[in-house]
Amino acid sequence: MEKKPTVGYLGMGIMGSAMAGRLVDAGYPVTVWNRSRDKCAALEAKGAKVAATAQEVVESCDITFACTSDPASARSVVFGEGGVLAGISSGRRFVDMSTVDEETAKDIAPVSGSKGPALQGQLVILSAGEEALQKEAQGCFDVMGKRTFFLGEVGAGARMKLVVNMIMGINMVALCEGLAVGTQAGLKGADILEVIKEGAIASPMYGMKGPKMLEGDFASNFPLKHAQKDVRLALGLGDAVGQPMPVAAAANESFKAARAAGRGDDDFSAVYDAVRKQGLSGPPGPY
Amino acid sequence: MEKKPTVGYLGMGIMGSAMAGRLVDAGYPVTVWNRSRDKCAALEAKGAKVAATAQEVVESCDITFACTSDPASARSVVFGEGGVLAGISSGRRFVDMSTVDEETAKDIAPVSGSKGPALQGQLVILSAGEEALQKEAQGCFDVMGKRTFFLGEVGAGARMKLVVNMIMGINMVALCEGLAVGTQAGLKGADILEVIKEGAIASPMYGMKGPKMLEGDFASNFPLKHAQKDVRLALGLGDAVGQPMPVAAAANESFKAARAAGRGDDDFSAVYDAVRKQGLSGPPGPY
Amino acid sequence: MEKKPTVGYLGMGIMGSAMAGRLVDAGYPVTVWNRSRDKCAALEAKGAKVAATAQEVVESCDITFACTSDPASARSVVFGEGGVLAGISSGRRFVDMSTVDEETAKDIAPVSGSKGPALQGQLVILSAGEEALQKEAQGCFDVMGKRTFFLGEVGAGARMKLVVNMIMGINMVALCEGLAVGTQAGLKGADILEVIKEGAIASPMYGMKGPKMLEGDFASNFPLKHAQKDVRLALGLGDAVGQPMPVAAAANESFKAARAAGRGDDDFSAVYDAVRKQGLSGPPGPY
Amino acid sequence: MEKKPTVGYLGMGIMGSAMAGRLVDAGYPVTVWNRSRDKCAALEAKGAKVAATAQEVVESCDITFACTSDPASARSVVFGEGGVLAGISSGRRFVDMSTVDEETAKDIAPVSGSKGPALQGQLVILSAGEEALQKEAQGCFDVMGKRTFFLGEVGAGARMKLVVNMIMGINMVALCEGLAVGTQAGLKGADILEVIKEGAIASPMYGMKGPKMLEGDFASNFPLKHAQKDVRLALGLGDAVGQPMPVAAAANESFKAARAAGRGDDDFSAVYDAVRKQGLSGPPGPY
């Protein structure tokens, strides 16, 4: 059996640490880095090396993955001092799995999925860019995800991620408005979820998030601030290609209201609170 | 085995004729009526009696169901000359399965589902009103649907239907905006649908409608004008209970644009055309 | 000089009492009525007669005007027990100045303007319906308003009122969003108003309401619940004629949020609070 | 009388050429530059010098103004090869009058107003940044504008411009939706404009643009693509400071629809066509 490549992982957030953990479990020699080193502790305990800079990781590994929270940090990890560009050299591979705008994207393969799927290797990987690299990374992709799409030129993966997350964000606000108006009108939230489950719009997200939303459990699988960022970037994409998206624009404003209300670090389903906050306070209306 | 009650059915549209057909197949003696009699031909061929007025149906059947297209026609069937009220008498049961506003609702049990589920008896029945009636109607409900919810007082069924169809309508426009911006940005529509299928927002509706939308097949299962009507009535419900719903309001305008473009009688997925019509015509943009 | 006709006025709200007051001042013999009689006190003090029912007013006056708060009460004043229809007879004239939907409208001449203009006879009167009646009413119109438009068949006045108030409602929310984002971004609200005053969008409304909004003075000239009602009815008109209005729909949701927050009886500029409530609480953001 | 400083002007678009023209007329020695030199012809004919690069202008003038069409070109004029930074040196002043995002802004004084006011020196100048510079530029400001606001630190001018133009953009779409629904409902567009003129929302913009819109005259005073850019940048500002603006977001989508329909270079009032395009085609509806 051929020798496993050495693997680096930059960014130990919810997603990055889950994916890096799977690579360690799969027997890859893994080196990790995070801006605040303390977030590397869990991986170190698992047996991963911890590097002082992104540059050091890239220099010491055959292939390095990154998953950061937003375009700004993605950019600084790549272009900043002690960053990827400082360490990259021929034969060193770098795959950014963040959701970033395309100015930033080099070879990029963002993932679709949240904490749970990441821990279980059930992510969907949206790969694009240099095909040779994709082949080399496939072994790692197989450990991190259940399916990998090859979408063509650099940027296609980022665009796919934005489009799908935008649809997801709208579907979430749709459920929130429905639960809010329905319960205000005297229906039981649990009944609404049951009826949805039996029908054409049943989805894993509605099944998973719905009951938690009714309990007010907003522990973060996918932070709201990242969900809003994706909808905003998708609207920017619409701007670039001349596609109006009034419903996405309205949903974006609801996510912004939730962020403004201090929900940015909660799960994106916490937009439910912002939606209800706009509704009748105190006793329900006519119904 | 106990004798089957005689059953009437008012309104031979897509949904009504499918449900009445199942009742005939199940061995119920069925009498049908429709404003334009020609629409009764298929049921007559199946062995159903055809009556000249709604009143005549109600007078001659133990239990009568109705499924009409909008509050106005529902009202005229109930209150109009030769209507239900003229024929109803103690021991005669009437169950309106239309999506109507509550001023109209008497005992009402709207259904969730479209043509296919209706033909296969896979509808979800949202029953509310007098409990005794619900028990009597249960036999027929079992023939028409796969599950029946008892939601309490009169009107709860109508409200549930509106809430669920509003969420469905928003989900549909979300897919349309995503497909429109994604394809404008150089992604393949089929890839977008595949990625959705693997993820948290996979749903029967997206699986069923998505591919047809890409082919431009908008044969009607659920007419767009009825989908818009439900979103509009749900917004009215929000008005009544004091719940703002900016995303539903935006989706409603997109459905109105599709109606204005002459798509009202096509499937509600035809809103895709209205969404794209707002986008860049001719060659795609920067991407 | 010809004898003045006897004039009745139904509905002693902000607008009705102001207009009735001008008619008294102009020397017309005036009889007033209001559901809750106490609201008639001011006019009685001015020398108006007070009747026990709307019917009584219509029976005793040559021409009767009405200004009620919403379609429901307008309808009950006209069709209810002791209402206009019970008292109307040949030679008796009735002019409804409320903003009502057209099912209700008989001869109708809604007014454009709020408390101030009403007190000063500076209203704009949007008259429609039977031309003969308009001629007879002109004398009174001249006392109540600065200009009267004859818009043609019954209903045109109501439609014009809705269209203009819808535009006004949107302009108000536009100012609110601008003041909210500008002040959050470190600009002085007073500077924003000054710059507006110098430019293309300067308007009496912005000049009059802007400074009060910054002071949090929302004493009602035009109650927010009526402003939202007009936007909602205008959206209904759009529905009827097939005109999507996404911006009006978004503004309507903001007014609904303000109503849900208990601002319905304040001036419609109080939507400013609902707009800001969606924004960052506590210390401003980056700026 | 003191000697006039030598003045440079970069960007000979609608606004820039009008302002530069006034400076020439006022007796200032003016040097102009534009990416495509042909656009400098009119100023050259008036007696202005034409330079080959922005750098050359800055090097040869005491104070240089710039007015470019968007952040991208503003950035390249400042940072690009042969740009402002290459030529700037102590004692040389640079004032950017474009509407730009703040990353770009150095000392900046965007103007509020369009072609007409620019030609007549009736602009409102929103000055911010180094106070010393503002004093030196005041003479030129007096020639170009009727009033100058000093708004404080760098960026305040840009923010003020965005806020006011966002409100203006919304007001424009509000008029479009009102005219569209009103005329569909059988009202005369001219009557709607007359009623507006008599009321609280009368504004120079409505008075000026309204009649032209009814005639379909969309000759550009303020290009639609720039109006949409300003609304988009204002939404970005809202993002940065945590202020949701659902109505601005909806208006932005309408402007995007107009751009996608090829109206970007027409006057921003051409959004009227995009609004109507969403409405009922062919014969009007019920009314």
DSSP string, C169-184: HHHHHHHHHHHHHHHH
pLDDT in tens, D71-124: 777 778 888 888 888 888 777 888 888 765 555 544 456 666 677 777 888 888
* Chain A residues touching residue D233 (CB < 8 angstroms): none
Looking at residue A99, its pLDDT comes to 64
Question: What is the DSSP pairing of strand B93-96 with strand B63-66?
Answer: parallel
* Chain C residues touching residue D187 (CB < 8 angstroms): 151, 156, 159-160, 163
| B67: DSSP letter | -
Mutation site for D-interface testing, chosen from A226, A237, A256, A259 by largest number of D Cβ within 10 Å: A256
Axis crossing angle, helix A224-241 with helix B156-184, rounded to the nearest 10: 50
DSSP string, B191-238: HHHHHHHTSTT--HHHHHHHHHHHHT----SSBHHHHHHHHHHHHHHH
pLDDT in tens, A144-176: 888 888 887 777 888 898 999 999 999 999 999
Whether A246 has its CB under 8 Å from any CB of chain D: the answer is: yes
Record the tokens describing residue A126, joined without a space. Answer: 């949206």
Euclidean distance between CA atoms A175 and A173, whole angstroms? 5
Give the gap in angstroms from C-alpha B56 to the nearest C-alpha of chain A. 34
Whether B274 has its CB under 8 Å from any CB of chain A: the answer is: no
- Judged by DSSP in three states, D95 sits in strand
Interchain contact, A167 vs B185, CB within 8 Å: no
Q: How far lies B139's CA from each of B98, B134, B145, in Å? A: 19, 9, 10
C223 vs A131, residue with greater confidence: C223
The subunits that touch chain D, with at least 3 C-beta pairs less than 8 Å apart, are A, B, C
Interchain contact, D178 vs C194, CB within 8 Å: no
Interchain contact, C245 vs D203, CB within 8 Å: no
Looking at residue C282, its pLDDT comes to 43
Euclidean distance between CA atoms D49 and D40, whole angstroms? 9
Looking at residue C43, its pLDDT comes to 95
**Nearest by Cα to A156 from A131, A123, A127, A135:** A127
Whether B260 has its CB under 8 Å from any CB of chain C: the answer is: yes
**Nearest by Cα to A185 from B228, B158, B148:** B158
Euclidean distance between CA atoms A198 and B111, whole angstroms? 12
Catalytic residues of A: 161
Domain positions in chain D are 7-152, 158-275
Torsion angle of alpha carbons C114, C117, C120, C126, nearest 10°? -90
Whether A243 has its CB under 8 Å from any CB of chain B: the answer is: yes
- Judged by DSSP in three states, A254 sits in helix
pTM of the model: 0.81
Torsion angle of alpha carbons D66, D69, D74, D80, nearest 10°? -100
Record the tokens describing residue C9, joined without a space. Answer: 């006025």
| Position D49 confidence tier, pLDDT thresholds 50, 70, 90 | very high
Between positions 33 and 62 of C, the ones with CB within 8 A of D are none
Alpha helical stretches, state H, chain A: 14-25, 41-46, 54-60, 71-79, 84-87, 115-119, 131-144, 156-184, 189-197, 204-215, 224-241, 246-260, 271-277
What is the spatial order of strands in the sheet that D7-10 belongs to? D49-50, D30-33, D7-10, D63-66, D93-96
| Position A109 confidence tier, pLDDT thresholds 50, 70, 90 | low
Fold of domain B158-275: N-(1-d-carboxylethyl)-l-norvaline Dehydrogenase; domain 2 (1.10.1040)
- Common-topology check for domains D7-152 and D158-275: no
Looking at residue D271, its pLDDT comes to 97
| A200 touches B172 (CB < 8 A) | no
Share of chain C above pLDDT 90, in %: 56
Question: What is the DSSP pairing of strand C63-66 with strand C93-96?
Answer: parallel
Active-site residue, from C46, C146, C161, C209: C161
Domain A7-152 -> CATH class: alpha beta
Mutation site for B-interface testing, chosen from D278, D280, D287 by largest number of B Cβ within 10 Å: D278
Looking at residue B286, its pLDDT comes to 39
Whether A261 has its CB under 8 Å from any CB of chain D: the answer is: no
Record the tokens describing residue C199, joined without a space. Answer: 């430019």
To the query of whether residue D4 is one of the catalytic residues in this protein, the response is no
Interchain contact, B253 vs C242, CB within 8 Å: no
| Tens-digit pLDDT string for chain B (287 aa) | 568 899 999 999 988 999 999 999 999 999 999 999 999 999 999 999 999 999 999 999 999 998 887 777 777 888 888 888 888 877 788 888 876 555 554 445 666 667 777 788 888 888 877 777 778 888 888 888 888 888 877 778 888 989 999 999 999 999 999 999 999 999 999 999 999 999 899 999 999 999 999 999 999 889 999 999 999 999 999 998 999 999 999 999 999 999 999 999 999 999 999 999 888 764 443 34
Interchain contact, C259 vs B242, CB within 8 Å: yes
Chain A residue with Cα closest to D253: A244
Residue D69 CB: number of other CB atoms within 10 A?
A: 18
| B102 Cβ neighbours under 8 A, 6+ residues apart | B154, B155, B158, B159
Q: For residue C185, which phi and psi values (nearest 5 degrees)?
A: -90, 10
Give the gap in angstroms from C-alpha D55 to the nearest C-alpha of chain B. 30
Whether B270 has its CB under 8 Å from any CB of chain A: the answer is: no
Among B126, B185, B203, beta carbon nearest to A237: B185
How large is the C-alpha radius of gyration of chain D?
Answer: 20
* Chain C residues touching residue D146 (CB < 8 angstroms): 198
| D126 Cβ neighbours under 8 A, 6+ residues apart | C195, D109, D110, D111, D112, D149, D151, D156, D157, D160, D161
Looking at residue A102, its pLDDT comes to 52
* Chain D residues touching residue B274 (CB < 8 angstroms): 278
Interchain contact, D242 vs A260, CB within 8 Å: yes
Amino acid identity at B82: G
pLDDT in tens, C143-193: 988 888 888 777 788 889 899 999 999 999 999 999 999 999 999 999 999
Question: Can you tell me the ipTM of this complex?
Answer: 0.82
Whether C217 has its CB under 8 Å from any CB of chain B: the answer is: no
pLDDT of A86 above 50: yes
Interchain contact, A159 vs B182, CB within 8 Å: yes
Whether B86 has its CB under 8 Å from any CB of chain A: the answer is: no
